[in-house]
Structure 1
Amino acid sequence: MVDSPERTPPETDSSFGSWLVLGALAIALVVIPWSLIVLPSARGLIGLVGFSLRDAYLVVPLVPAVGLGLLGVWTALRSRRSQ
């Protein structure tokens, strides 16, 4: 029987990245849509931009979603560098 060396998990600080991803998801999926529903001033701002309320529900959450995609790429590159 051959002794195999012990494998230890790599030392990473993934808690910060995890909280960042959860925060971005909460903003994109909860905060922005509910702010469009609850805040009447947000509706006025949407009208100034030229969007209807339906267009705003589709377009405005894309802003943090793009940030979430960039965060995913950054996390993948960071984890690949640490290997």
Structure 2
Amino acid sequence: MNIPLDAIAAFNTVGGIKPAYIRMEDEAHRLHTYKIANIEFTKDENYSGVQSLLFVCNVDMGDCMKCIKIRYLIDTHKWLLVS
């Protein structure tokens, strides 16, 4: 299941992408912003025929660190939480 999310990312001079923050909505429709502590690795993928980048990141969720996967769809510029 892929969940759409907001992201703030930095782009370098050769087009590399580094996500810095994500924002997600919880079940009560409240928005929560989380800082990405570090990126474990990045992988180029062809996800269902769509070029994408998969990021495996550690996110600081206040009282704990959580490892998540987020996908950036290159053609549509959308961010998804991969579960």
TM-score band (shorter)? under 0.3
TM-score, structure 2 normalization:
0.19
Q: TM-score, normalised by structure 1?
A: 0.19
Higher helix share: 1
Larger Rg: 1
Q: Does 1 or 2 have the higher relative contact order (CA < 8 Å, sep 6+)?
A: 1
